[in-house]
Amino acid sequence: MREDRQSPSRRAALRRVAGIATGTLLAGCLSGEVGTTATESTDTETDPATGTGTMTGTTTPSVDHTVGLYTDLYFDPIGLHVEPGDTVAFELVSGAHSATAYHPDNEAVLERRVPQDAKAWDTGTWSETGTSRTITLEAEGTHDYFCIPHKGVEMVGRIVVGSPGGPATASANPDGKLPASARIVSEGSVPYDEWASE
Ligand SMILES: [Cu+2]
């Protein structure tokens, strides 16, 4: 079901907007597992009910990679290669989305598609356009993830941490087509437009 997606030129325009936003709006922080707060942030408030950090200032921990979340229902890049310990900022460009690992502890996950030693990383669903939620990925292998509201319309993504491996490499993602782990490693990043046009 790709009919809802807009033209490449429109997406390119959105991505340019995303680039601007990346430069001006700095990320929130939600590092590692949900409930932890980045220790290097001095302007973070913690909700005592959930322990979830909420960024209130304009500084951010260092971000190694950025993935955009779009109201046309895709992650861009759809495939990303990172090193263990790298941080990835998920930037909400438009709409309301989440980036949620296929980990049995996360909502609506029927099968594990992250390495056995991976934490159940999840940004949660949010709608504050222009803000980011950041995770740190330690567990080496292939991490598939999805958007909670839009998993049913193929809003899925893949991050390879270090070398490919784990259950995501053993079967096709049940919710959407994803680039092979080896390709992600060789290209470093697979843009959504490029992938969708193949
Ligand atoms: Cu979504």
C-alpha 166 – ligand 1 centre gap (Å): 25
- State in Å: Cα 156 to ligand 1 middle: 9
Residue % of the chain over a pLDDT of 70: 69
Distance 73 CA to ligand 1 centre (A): 5
Nearest CA-CA partner of 67 in 31, 19, 112, 103: 19
**How many domains does the chain divide into?**
1
Phi, psi angle pair for 157, to nearest 5°: -150, 170
**In this structure, is residue 3 part of a structural domain?**
no
Q: Residue 71 C-alpha to ligand 1 middle, in angstroms?
A: 7
Digit-coded pLDDT (tens) for 4-40: 444 444 444 444 444 444 443 444 343 344 433 333 3
Residue 32: CATH number of its domain:
2.60.40.420
pLDDT reported for residue 180: 98
Could you list the residue range(s) of the whole structural domain that residue 48 is in?
8-196
Ligand 1 center to 99 CA (angstroms): 8
pLDDT, tens digit, for every residue of 148-190?
Answer: 999 999 999 999 999 999 999 999 999 999 999 999 999 999 9
